[in-house]
Structure 1
Amino acid sequence: MSALLKIRSRRDQMSAIERRIADFVLDNAQLLRDYSSQQLANALGISQSSVVKFCQKLGFKGYPDLKYSIGEAVARADNGDEPVNDADADVDSDDAMACDLWRRKTEAEEETRSINPPDTVTAVAAAIAAAADGGKVFLIGLGADDIRARAFALRLSLLGILAVHNFDPAHMAASVSAANAGDVLLVFSEHGKPPPLCYIARYFRERQGTVISITRHTSNPLRAYANLALLVSAHDDRAHIEPLLYHSALQHLLDRVFVLVCEAGREEQLQANLERLQPMLEP
């Protein structure tokens, strides 16, 4: 496990000071080589010993060891993991781009899998499956997040689960008024900050429902209202690449949940719905 991934995966278990160090390191990984442990401590307004203890708690001998490991991780991200050989010289730019994109997606999926313990993914699937027996599953997302919420709502519907999807916070707030204990609310929000979604999550908790947030692996208000949290780790300095990594890692995470729900005795319902819908889709 790379140093950066180790920091991301353990951040939620860190103290307040350790989280400050972790956030600074993650945000400034490429510049860390220019910082000594004392300079890092000064930048954060903490003691040098706090920096050293942070490194040792992650399993490194000290700050130089951590800095070297992060430097290697940054170099691999910049240059790719595979050595260049003569055959690579014949690969055109399109193939090189495709390989790099696939590698970055794979890394994002691996990081996302590492920060979502199997018990959490199983608990999310179990909550959805339990709500399906006479209950409802509400889903909401704003903007691009609505695309993921809508697609997942459709897949749940194919399993015979009553999925209440809405992209309008006002309409969803009205729908949530009919929620009962045991119902589930899935809130899709990459950054977990929109106040309307936080309000809906809080209201749903008051109705004794189970709130499941799907956000980035960051501290955000929405996670504070969630009973269960699914987290996505996808990072790239290129603004046009990072959303692709996020979507890819999120999709794989949702696929894991869907498979668990489907295998909880809903395969026959799925097959029956697919056979009934097929004539509508044929030309």
Structure 2
Amino acid sequence: MSPLLKIRSERDHMSAIERRIADFLLDNAHLLRDYSSQQLASALGISQSSVVKFSQKLGFKGYPDLKYSVGESLARGDGNDDNGAPAASESPHPHAALAESLWRAKAEAEEETRLINPPEKIDAIADAIRGAQKVFVIGLGMDGIQARAFAMKLSLLGILAVHHFDPVLMPAAVSTTAGDDVLLVFSEHGRQSSLCQVARLFHERHGKVVTVTRHTANPLRAHADLSLLVSAHDERAHIEPLLYQAALQQLLDLIFQLLCEDEGRLQQLSINLELMHPMLDT
């Protein structure tokens, strides 16, 4: 039986923490190669020993053994096996082919994006955010959705994140910039002159500019101290934005995960989430 099928079949008999690990592995099996046991534990807010015990309970020597087995299973294309799993349908639903094609395209975009953003660059951006007094975040249109979501995550970690959606009002905020402040500019194509002007003004105040764009030559990147680059290409106009968003989300999640390695930030996240729960239940 493949490891993913084993996890799926035993999930209902697992403890709450084990189910959290199981669900993460099932939903993110293709990304598992990028996670150490400590990173997986941090992403789920649990102890590293819980990850190790989960692996051993499934019959593996430890987490590396489980990760290797999952990778081999994916390489073989083991969605199901012959040990109690449903047989493949002779006429699979068209949705299955669409889902498989989209999944593979996203996985390729995420891998290409990871390769063009070396670890030292990711670490430098995480360090800049970690050491900033204020983190200004701006994005226009669809870029604003990702910008707002990331600013919210930073706030949950206790980082002073100031989200803006109007570049006309941004110069007033920039006037309060200190030397260790960071500006995160989200712009898929990096061509908006207003954002270039905001970045230039931020530089004049000696702040650090981090741009988030496609892996193309664009005016905005010329103003960046550090840049996050996304590689996501497809001839189909309705698919390419999906690949961009998926690859970008993976990058942002990685930076968020690095920030969570600070024990103080992780505690602040737990406190803020607890404060939010009563409001979500009303």
- The normalised TM-score by structure 1 is 0.68
- The 1-side partners of 2:119 and 2:92 are apart by 39
Residue 94 (1) aligns with residue 92 (2):
no
Cα distance 1:239–1:88, how it changes in 2: closer, same or farther (>3 A)? farther
Equivalence for 2:214: 216
Secondary structure of the equivalent of 1:175? helix
Give 1:90 deviation, angstroms: 2.5
SS at match of 1:178: coil
Count residues with an aligned counterpart. 197
Aligned residue for 2:274? 275
Unaligned runs of 5+ in 1: 1-81
Unaligned runs of 5+ in 2: 1-76, 78-86
1:263 CA drift (Å): 1.1
Q: Which amino acid aligns with 2:277?
A: Q
Residue 168 in 1 paired to residue 166 in 2? yes
- Extract structure 1 runs of 4+ deviating beyond 3 A: 86-89
Change (3 A) 1:220 1:89: farther
Root-mean-square deviation (CA, aligned residues, Å) is 1.6
Identity of aligned residues (%): 61
What per-residue deviation string (whole Å, max 9, x for no partner) do you get for residues 209-266 of structure 1?
1100000000111111000000000000000000000000000000000111121231
Contact 1:176 1:204 in 2 (8 A): yes
Q: Residue 88 of structure 1: CA displacement?
A: 7.5
Measure, in 2, the Cα distance between the counterparts of 1:89 and 1:176: 61
Residue type of the alignment partner of 1:91: P
User: What does 1:1-283 align with in structure 2 at a 5 Å threshold?
Assistant: 90-131=91-132, 135-265=133-263, 266-283=265-282
Q: Do the aligned partners of 1:129 and 1:264 also contact (CA within 8 Å) in 2?
A: no
Q: Which amino acid aligns with 2:95?
A: D
- TM-score calculated relative to the size of structure 2: 0.68
Alignment deviations for residues 146-193 of structure 1 (CA, whole Å, 9 cap, x no partner): 000000000000001111111000111211111110000000000001
How far apart are 1:87 and its partner, in Å?
5.0
Helix, strand or coil at the partner of 2:206: coil
Q: Secondary structure at the match of 2:169?
A: helix
Q: What's the CA shift string for 1:94-128, capped at 9, x where partnerless?
A: 11000100000000000000000000001000000
Distance of 1:90 and 1:256 partners within structure 2: 39
